[in-house]
């Protein structure tokens, strides 16, 4: 049995106070989430809508759920009533749908724009140029029921620390660029979500404000 509480305490002790932990609970049983909850953790991340739906229904109502997987537009309506943050927005189409469903639920949904920086071709996300284009084009400003709170990215899954650091600093510099150009008067645009189990210490050094950690807390996932 994994010592979820002990692992969680270790991770939290490792993180500066101003870096938020999103405990990534995908593929892990509800009992593990409840243990982390009992230890005080309130922010959890899931990547599949159906799995999230079940857990959301069965676990305490004050959990803040982050969606961290690839999100199809036809699934947005299911999570719109309760989701605290959608970290993986990678198109204007998806942003529009989130706005529409948020309106129906009479709420504003917080989102992050997901960047594609890693060299792996399988990763989702906006290239830096596509992200620039989306923001320059400006339609997002009229979407009053979504709030863009920052950027999210996954670094390449490699051993080479300098490669990881390079990618995260590229994301950090890009954050500064768009902050200055589009969000200089918007305090809500402040989140830099990078860092997972294997690279969160590097991420903290590369200006992350939000780390997404699964395996180090809950153990290996059983698919
Ligand atoms: C699964 C996942 C994580 C957590 O990965 P670990 O290596 O288990 O910490 C973080 N971010 C995203 C987007 C994920 O899909």
Give residue-wise pLDDT tens across range 81-122. Answer: 999 999 999 999 999 999 999 999 999 999 999 999 987 776
- How far does the centroid of ligand 1 lie from the alpha carbon of residue 195, in Å? 9
**Residue that the structure tokens 């504003």 belong to:** 108
The pLDDT assigned to 118 comes to: 81
Cβ of 24 less than 6 Å from ligand 1: yes
The answer to whether the CB of 196 falls within 8 A of the CB of 154 is yes
- pLDDT tens digits along 21-52: 999 999 999 999 999 999 999 999 999 999 99
- pLDDT tens digits along 122-173: 668 999 999 999 999 999 999 999 999 999 999 999 999 999 999 999 999 9
- How far does the centroid of ligand 1 lie from the alpha carbon of residue 179, in Å? 26
For residue 201, what are its two tokens?
Answer: 């210490």
Three-state DSSP at 147 gives: strand
- How far does the centroid of ligand 1 lie from the alpha carbon of residue 19, in Å? 16
Mean pLDDT confidence for 186-193: 98
Mean pLDDT of all residues belonging to the chain: 96
For residue 40, what are its two tokens?
Answer: 């005080």
Atom of ligand 1 nearest to the CA of 198: 7
Residue 1, pLDDT > 90, answer no
Cβ of 153 less than 6 Å from ligand 1: no
The pLDDT assigned to 9 comes to: 97
Cβ of 115 less than 6 Å from ligand 1: no
The pLDDT assigned to 121 comes to: 73
Cβ of 48 less than 6 Å from ligand 1: no
- How far does the centroid of ligand 1 lie from the alpha carbon of residue 215, in Å? 8
What is the distance between the alpha carbons of residues 198 and 184, in angstroms, rounded to a whole number?
32
Atom of ligand 1 nearest to the CA of 221: 8
- pLDDT tens digits along 48-82: 999 999 999 999 999 999 999 999 999 999 999 99
- For ligand 1, atom 13, the nearest C-alpha belongs to 68
The pLDDT assigned to 135 comes to: 98
Cβ of 125 less than 6 Å from ligand 1: no
- How far does the centroid of ligand 1 lie from the alpha carbon of residue 57, in Å? 22
- pLDDT tens digits along 201-210: 999 999 999 9
* CA distances from residue 137 to 83, 120, 145, 180 in whole angstroms, order as listed: 27, 28, 18, 16
Choose among 48, 16, 20, 11: nearest CA to 192: 20
Atom of ligand 1 nearest to the CA of 216: 9
């Amino acid at each position: 049995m994994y010592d979820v509480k002990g692992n969680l305490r270790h991770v939290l002790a490792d993180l500066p106070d101003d870096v938020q932990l999103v405990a990534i609970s995908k593929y892990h049983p509800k009992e593990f989430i409840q243990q982390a909850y009992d230890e005080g953790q309130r922010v959890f991340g899931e990547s599949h809508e159906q799995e999230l739906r079940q857990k959301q229904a069965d676990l305490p109502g004050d959990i803040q759920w982050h969606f961290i997987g690839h999100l199809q537009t036809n699934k947005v309506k299911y999570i719109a009533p309760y989701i605290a943050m959608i970290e993986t927005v990678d198109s204007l189409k998806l942003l529009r749908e989130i706005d529409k469903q948020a309106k129906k639920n009479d709420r504003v949904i917080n989102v992050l724009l997901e960047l594609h920086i890693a060299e792996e071709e399988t990763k989702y996300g906006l290239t830096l140029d596509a992200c620039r284009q989306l923001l320059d084009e400006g339609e997002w400003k009229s979407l009053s029921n979504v709030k863009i709170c920052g950027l999210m990215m996954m670094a390449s899954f490699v051993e080479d620390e300098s490669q990881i650091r390079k990618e995260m600093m590229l994301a950090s510099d890009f954050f500064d660029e768009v902050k200055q150009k589009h969000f200089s008067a918007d305090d809500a645009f402040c989140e830099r979500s990078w860092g997972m189990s294997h690279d969160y210490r590097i991420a903290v050094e590369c200006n992350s404000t939000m780390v997404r950690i699964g395996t180090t807390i809950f153990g290996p996932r059983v698919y």
